[in-house]
Structure 1
Amino acid sequence: MSDSSPQGILVCDKPQGLSSHGVVSRIRRWYGTKKVGHAGTLDPMATGVLVLGLGRGTKLLTYITGVSKTYLATIRLGSSTPTDDADSDPDRFAAPADLSAVDTSTVEAAVAKLRGPIDQVPSAVSAIKVDGKRSYARVRAGEDVQLRARRVEISSFEVIDIRFAAADGHIDVDVEVDCSSGTYVRALARDIGNDLGVYGHLTALRRSRVGDFELDQAVTLPADLDTAAPALMSLAEAARTFLPVVTVGTDQATALMQGKVVTAADWTADAPESSSVARGEVVHGEVAVICDDVLVSVAEVRRDGGLKSLTAFAIDLA
């Protein structure tokens, strides 16, 4: 029996001031379904690409969460806040002489230090769990939380514009950041401010990309949820954007959903010839398995070329 409830992926442009959970709640009402999740939190002050899964699309979110992301941000040098962003008030301020010593070359040098693989200490006011409790909850309870550094990759970190207003106690730096999942852009602002000896925090953050999901695909939440909800991206279309694809027949699709292994002779690469899967080079790699333009599963290509389902999507193949 087929499921008539909404199934698929929605790329949303999250508005400022609304939490990611708040977006999920609105999408549930808009589409009339309870099964909605997102592929990576955006802070309330942030805007931009938030990828949501509805119905079976929630299963696909696991594989979207770890993709790289792009952010446009404004770093304010000259003060810091407890949250490292504009969601809290500044509590430390740079000495005027120190701020006046900052120029374009020193900002560029501080940014350059944070390119590539770095060990980043996340912001203490974050959703990271410490002994089973969210770090932000411990901070709000008055605890002094010291999080461990984690390795992240900053593949690109470019200064777009610098606006000097030292006489007003700040310098604003617009940047664009391409980074791995798990990177805290507000921690980059904090660390640049500390490196320059003038403190720093974010005043604006907009996520422009999650993997191959871009802002130009994003839907704006309407003020009136009585507006007709747009069509969702199919699971097959979404999976093609971030996973190599193989195709199988109905019998093989059924076998995969039953947890059986499909032999190398029974699947076909459905990818550009330049891709590793088309060349038969995928070893222990994850692929999207598609049958008749329907996503059957995310599977692993084993060393012998066989396919074994990692996450099956219950579908009607009749």
Structure 2
Amino acid sequence: MGGILLVDKPGGITSHDVVARARRALGTRKIGHAGTLDPMATGLLVLGVDSATRLLTFLVGLDKTYAATIRLGVATDSDDADGEITSRADAAHLAAAQIAAAIAPLTGRISQVPSRVSAIKVGGRRAYDLARAGEHVELAAREVTVSRFEVRGERATRVDGIDVIDLDVEVDCSSGTYIRALARDLGAALEVGGHLTALRRTRIGPFEVDGAVAVDDIAAAALADPAEVAAAVLGRFDVTADEARDLRHGKRLSGAARRLPARPAAAIDPQGRLVGVVDTRGDDVKSTMNMPEEGDA
């Protein structure tokens, strides 16, 4: 049945590198992820192994938490430390109250223009590929939610002849939020420029990086049971053996909608196995995704 694997990605490699290492370590090609991290970023990657890859679509949209460092006083063309510097400005005059006032409009439901080096597709091509090819990239703003944007530390330092401020921050946000864009927009609001110098993803939904394994330890890692993961994310819907059989055969459970704890929900059979993900159809319950039965391909 496979399972879910939490990996703590180190800096300097891509998320696809982690997937490739997991495929070699676990001896299977069928591994996917629930959202990438930039090469400079570290932290939590959620991988689906074998049939548990079917769950990834329900994990991608979960809220996330990041720990990051924002440098005020320097802007780059990628909004992070991997880009070319586009402007410098002294930030020594900025007071904590000014910074807090500039953060406030970047909290809550906001309209955000993603970084030009994001993975968003423009005309069938990734924005970062267009940017690296020197082509003009113009991305549309999108609505995201930043439920917490908290400064945890502040350091003044001198870099290349100017005084900059490094902010250590923690951000809780919806899926699709770009922390690089927050750094860029905060620097712009303060009229000194800003970019991201460090980024670590510490949480995806109910999953914490503290429970993740290092890349070198993947081969010996225990996979999380798909039923436990699905129940934690979606809510648990216990079904009888007969109901499990009907769901697997595409049949509806008549009048069972009132039993669902949430929509969608994880249907669990009497043996504790994940039957699939179900939703309502009127007063009935029907599978929207079925897991294979033991022994199936």
Q: Flag whether TM exceeds 0.5 (same fold).
A: yes
Equivalent position of 1:20 in the other structure: 15
Deviation, structure 1 residue 265: 4.8
Conservation of the 8 A alpha-carbon contact between 2:256 and 2:285:
no
Query: What does 1:119-130 correspond to in 2, within 5 Å?
Result: 119-130=111-122
2-side partners of 1:265 and 1:228: how far apart? 41
Query: What does 1:1-318 correspond to in 2, within 5 Å?
Result: 7-94=2-89, 96=90, 99-165=91-157, 168-222=162-216, 228-265=219-256, 277=261, 282=262, 285-291=263-269, 292-304=271-283, 306-316=284-294
Moved over 6 A (4+): none
Deviation, structure 1 residue 266: 9.6
1-side partners of 2:70 and 2:43: how far apart? 17
Q: Name the stretch that deviates more: 105-114 or 7-16.
A: 105-114
1-side partners of 2:115 and 2:179: how far apart? 9
1-side partners of 2:184 and 2:290: how far apart? 42
SS at match of 1:161: strand
Shift of the 144–256 alpha-carbon distance from structure 1 to 2, 3 Å rule, reads same
Structure 1 counterpart of 2:168, one-letter code: D
| 1:232-258 Cα shifts (integer Å, max 9, x gaps) | 001001112211110112221122122
1-side partners of 2:11 and 2:219: how far apart? 23
SS at match of 1:102: coil
2-side partners of 1:120 and 1:34: how far apart? 36
| 1:33-53 Cα shifts (integer Å, max 9, x gaps) | 000000011111111111000
Structure 2 counterpart of 1:22, one-letter code: D
Q: TM-score, normalised by structure 1?
A: 0.88
Shift of the 67–199 alpha-carbon distance from structure 1 to 2, 3 Å rule, reads same
Deviation, structure 1 residue 87: 1.7
SS at match of 1:127: coil
Deviation, structure 1 residue 90: 2.1
2-side partners of 1:88 and 1:288: how far apart? 43
- Residue identity over aligned pairs, in percent, reads 50
Conservation of the 8 A alpha-carbon contact between 2:3 and 2:223:
yes
SS at match of 1:91: strand
2-side partners of 1:296 and 1:193: how far apart? 49
| 1:119-149 Cα shifts (integer Å, max 9, x gaps) | 0000010110011111111111211111000
2-side partners of 1:26 and 1:137: how far apart? 24
Deviation, structure 1 residue 264: 3.1
2-side partners of 1:152 and 1:75: how far apart? 19
Structure 2: unaligned runs, 5 residues or longer: none
Shift of the 207–265 alpha-carbon distance from structure 1 to 2, 3 Å rule, reads closer
Conservation of the 8 A alpha-carbon contact between 2:187 and 2:193:
yes
Conservation of the 8 A alpha-carbon contact between 2:110 and 2:146:
yes
Conservation of the 8 A alpha-carbon contact between 1:86 and 1:201:
yes
Structure 2 counterpart of 1:32, one-letter code: G
Conservation of the 8 A alpha-carbon contact between 1:247 and 1:267:
no
Instruction: Count how many residue pairs are aligned between Structure 1 and Structure 2.
Output: 293
Conservation of the 8 A alpha-carbon contact between 2:277 and 2:290:
yes
Structure 1: unaligned runs, 5 residues or longer: 270-276
